[in-house]
Amino acid sequence: MDSYSCAVKGHEDLHSPAVCVQGQSCSRVTYTKRGICVLKGSTVDISCTYVGYYYTTSTFWFRSDKSTPEDLTTDPGYAGRVEYTGTYKGPFTLRITDLREEDSAEYRFTFKTDNIEWGHSFPGTTLSVTGLQVKVTPAAKGQRTLTCSTTCILTDNHNPTYIWYKNGQRLHEPASQQHSSNLLVVWDSSVNIYSCAVEGQEDLHSPVVCFQVKVTPEQNSEYKTLTCSTTCILTGNPTYIWYKNGQVVTEKMSLYAVLPKAVESYYCAVKGHEDLHSPAVYGPKSTSVSVSPSGEIVEGSSVTLTCSSDANPPVDRYTWWYKNGGEFQSMTGPQHVFNQIQSSDTGEYYCEAQNEMGTDRSRTINMDVKYDPRNTSVSVSPSGEIVEGSSVTLTCSSDANPPVDKYTWYKKNGASLTGSENTFLITNINSEDSGEYYCEAENKYGRLNSSSVSVDVQC
């Protein structure tokens, strides 16, 4: 009753329309658009049509990056911003209002019937939420070129008309520039604060271009010089204000900062324009390691470790540390991929994230690689000559993770023997017990036979 579609590897979000193998009696979901790019603060409609040939008991939208599908209407992060519209016969629409950049994700639709639960693993619609950004570049002497841009192409406005604002007022001149993504301005001594918007969405302004912080390390890495700079030319001699963890600490252009291990954030502004302060700069924090795929790790599979950290400026160096029985060794990069992980990769791992402001370390995770039995062998006790009437113990040994949970004993040219433990006891042994013995060790990932041992009973 399922439908099928295909895609080219590397472009899995652009797969073909779903088709049924036999007739049209199968379940399927068809998304109106595979990718959508919209402005931060706006509203988006993501829609699909679906077919299910049993009575539908529930329908909902969810983010594919959640570990388990969660109805968006119950997600606290979307409280008051999500609405479902539509019916079985028409497009079923997810509407999200007051969009935020963290809403960027793939959204999927799923429905349940009395017989099936459909749609969890199939690609849905990828939403990209972008803010407007203004970039300032030098032009002729005394001039600057301002460029208004987005991080993706707006879905419903591929060639948008831009609107420019100066000190909060819309610009109407010169006519040749007022609707362009670029604006050439005279950078004079007055307070000129510029921002941009897209026509039709004038209430969604770009962030104001104003102050930024430059971080200069000193020779001692614990000390930094933070310098406040601005792309706004302010009247007179501006007084710079520095904030540490939200509290004013000094009034000067540069701040000589001692950065202890505790996470501290700094930002600056100009007196009289405190609401236009710079973004905060701080060292990495909330550093963590994730393992993909989650769950048990089996030898031979592909496993990816990812280091994530919150930092501004962004993390510019990741270092991985791992230990598997010896000293810790290091690797670099935000991700470490084991294409075919081995049992020798079992061990403890953590990562360090570093930027100009400091370093933070994640907690240690333990990676336990599972594998089937190996090095299976049988030993005989007592060793040496075996005399009729004595007792003999055969012991099966095997290296496996998880440990062997089932042992089977065999005598060559005979059936399997009674017993499932790793030892097999023969009491009051006689000549008929002479022969070749071997064992089979088994866990959930496989089984392996040992080589045989000879038991020769002397009369």
For 157-190, what is each residue's pLDDT tens digit? Answer: 778 888 888 878 888 765 555 567 888 877 554 4
Q: Are 29 and 109 in contact (CB under 8 A)?
A: yes
Number of H helices, E strands in the chain: 0, 42
| Longest distance between any two alpha carbons in the chain, whole Å | 116
More confident site: 438 or 1 = 438
Domains of the chain with bracketed CATH: 3-130 (2.60.40.10), 133-198 (2.60.40), 211-279 (2.60.40.10), 284-367 (2.60.40.10), 372-458 (2.60.40.10)
Specify the range with the lowest mean pLDDT, choosing from 221-235, 342-356, 383-397, 441-455: 221-235
For 413-441, what is each residue's pLDDT tens digit? Answer: 777 787 788 999 999 988 888 889 999 99
Residue 67 has pLDDT above 80, yes or no: no
For 100-139, what is each residue's pLDDT tens digit? Answer: 999 999 999 888 777 767 666 678 899 999 988 887 776 7
For 323-371, what is each residue's pLDDT tens digit? Answer: 876 666 777 889 989 999 999 899 999 999 988 888 899 999 999 999 9
- pTM score, whole prediction: 0.52
Quote the radius of gyration of the chain (alpha carbons, Å).
Answer: 34
pLDDT mean over 131-148: 78
Three-class SS state of 78 = helix
86 φ/ψ sector (left φ>0, alpha ψ -120 to 50, else beta): left
Three-class SS state of 345 = helix
> For position 288, what pLDDT does the model report?
94
SS (H, E, C) 303-339: EEEEEEEEEECCCCEEEEEEECCCCCEEEECCEEEEC
Question: Strands 35-39 and 281-292: what pairing?
Answer: unpaired
| CA separation for the pair 111, 59 (Å, rounded) | 4
More confident site: 328 or 454 = 454
| CA separation for the pair 194, 170 (Å, rounded) | 10
Q: Quick check: bond before 334 cis, omega within 30?
A: no
Mean pLDDT score of the chain: 82
> For position 446, what pLDDT does the model report?
94
Which pair of structure tokens corresponds to residue 334?
A: 């935000």
